Structure 1
Amino acid sequence: MVTPEAWRPDSAERRLTQLGIKLPSPPQPFGIYAEAVQSGNLLFLSGMLPTEGREPKFIGRIGAELDAEAGQQAAHLAALNALAVARQHLGSLDKVRRIVRLGVSVATSGDIRNQPKVADGASALLQDVFGPDKNPSRLIAGVASLPLGAPVALEVIFEVATSEAP
């Protein structure tokens, strides 16, 4: 994770290169919905899952089939997919002015209380790419199950530069 003191104001695209991150191909929707919808200067992403291609890379619930560390890795992969979808829609991640909100649904079993640790897998990646000054507000919810048996699902709202905005 990048600390505020160590952060240099580079572009998001340059940070991906510096971090050695190659984004995956954007996932296709698993139902009848749009993965990215832009309204004005807000870009809404929904249903970002930890998939590779058309298959879930992680299956299970935190506290049952998976531990928090695996959940964190799943959240990281879901965030990579979110960045791939955002780049596809915007043309460049450099158009992101800030991340407004990160919603993280975590499939859990039993009395699990470490959902924030799981969500940090997505938050850390977003901070590394965009910098601590663009950290979003965050909502985390434990749920009984998620599509494809995934342990996490992300909803992301970005503020983006538009042709109308300076």
Structure 2
Amino acid sequence: MKFENLHTRSISFALSFMFLLFTFSCSTPESQTQKISEDTWDAEQKLKDLGIVLPEASSPVANYVNAVRTGNLLFLAGKGPGLPDGSYITGKVGQDLTIEEGKEAARMVAINQLAVLKAELGDLNKVKRVVKVLGMVNCGPDFTQQPQVINGFSDLMVEVFGEKGKHARSAVGMNALPMNIAVEVELIVEIEDN
């Protein structure tokens, strides 16, 4: 009698285990689904879909370079909200500019950093992951909405690169930025092996 109960329980356990194994093997894990969608993501096409034409990458204004590669990481120097006519969006956010205007300035910085990436890599699809963003906002001491301003940068990175555009980030206030620019952003990206 005891043997029959043990045998029945063993069979029941084995059937339950096989059912779970079958269920998991037939389902597509979320990470696998995410990888498939990431593999088919086309950052260059996304840029076209957004109607964004990248400018020429601007030259450094002092004794430094736009980007330095070490291993599979590309470190981009801080860029400001340069406009096509060579001028910049300037002023303190919260005083001279609204939060929305600051956010637009941060989006312009994102376009300028994408131009640097394109110049360095030749193809934005070589970006494996946007790793880290340091966003600096020109503002007064009482301004506390830096994250909302830098969202202008972060949002465009995600629009262009999808899941690969999601990044670690700092958004900080600065008493002053070079040439009184409204926003400056540094960027670190991981790039594909070549």
Q: TM-score, normalised by structure 1?
A: 0.89
Q: Is the aligned partner of 1:104 residue 2:135?
A: yes
In structure 2, the residue matched to 1:57 is 88
* Distance of 1:118 and 1:104 partners within structure 2: 9
Please say if residues 48 and 81 of structure 1, whose CA atoms lie closer than 8 Å, have aligned partners that are also in contact.
yes
* Distance of 1:50 and 1:61 partners within structure 2: 13
In structure 1, the residue matched to 2:150 is 119
The alignment of Structure 1 onto Structure 2 pairs a total of residues equal to 158
State the 1:133 CA deviation. Answer: 4.3
In structure 2, the residue matched to 1:41 is 72
Percent of aligned pairs with the same amino acid? 37
Instruction: Indicate the structure (1 or 2) with the bigger Cα radius of gyration.
Output: 2
State the 1:20 CA deviation. Answer: 1.3
In structure 2, the residue matched to 1:137 is 168
Q: Secondary structure of the equivalent of 1:13?
A: helix
Q: Is the aligned partner of 1:13 residue 2:54?
A: no
Please say if residues 49 and 150 of structure 1, whose CA atoms lie closer than 8 Å, have aligned partners that are also in contact.
yes
Structure 2 spans left out of the alignment, 5+ residues? 1-33
Structure 1 spans left out of the alignment, 5+ residues? none
Please say if residues 56 and 150 of structure 1, whose CA atoms lie closer than 8 Å, have aligned partners that are also in contact.
no
Q: Is the aligned partner of 1:24 residue 2:55?
A: yes
Please say if residues 159 and 165 of structure 2, whose CA atoms lie closer than 8 Å, have aligned partners that are also in contact.
no
Please say if residues 74 and 152 of structure 1, whose CA atoms lie closer than 8 Å, have aligned partners that are also in contact.
yes
Please say if residues 102 and 154 of structure 1, whose CA atoms lie closer than 8 Å, have aligned partners that are also in contact.
yes
In structure 2, the residue matched to 1:76 is 107
State the 1:17 CA deviation. Answer: 1.1
Q: Secondary structure of the equivalent of 1:126?
A: helix
Q: TM-score, normalised by structure 2?
A: 0.77
* Distance of 2:181 and 2:128 partners within structure 1: 30
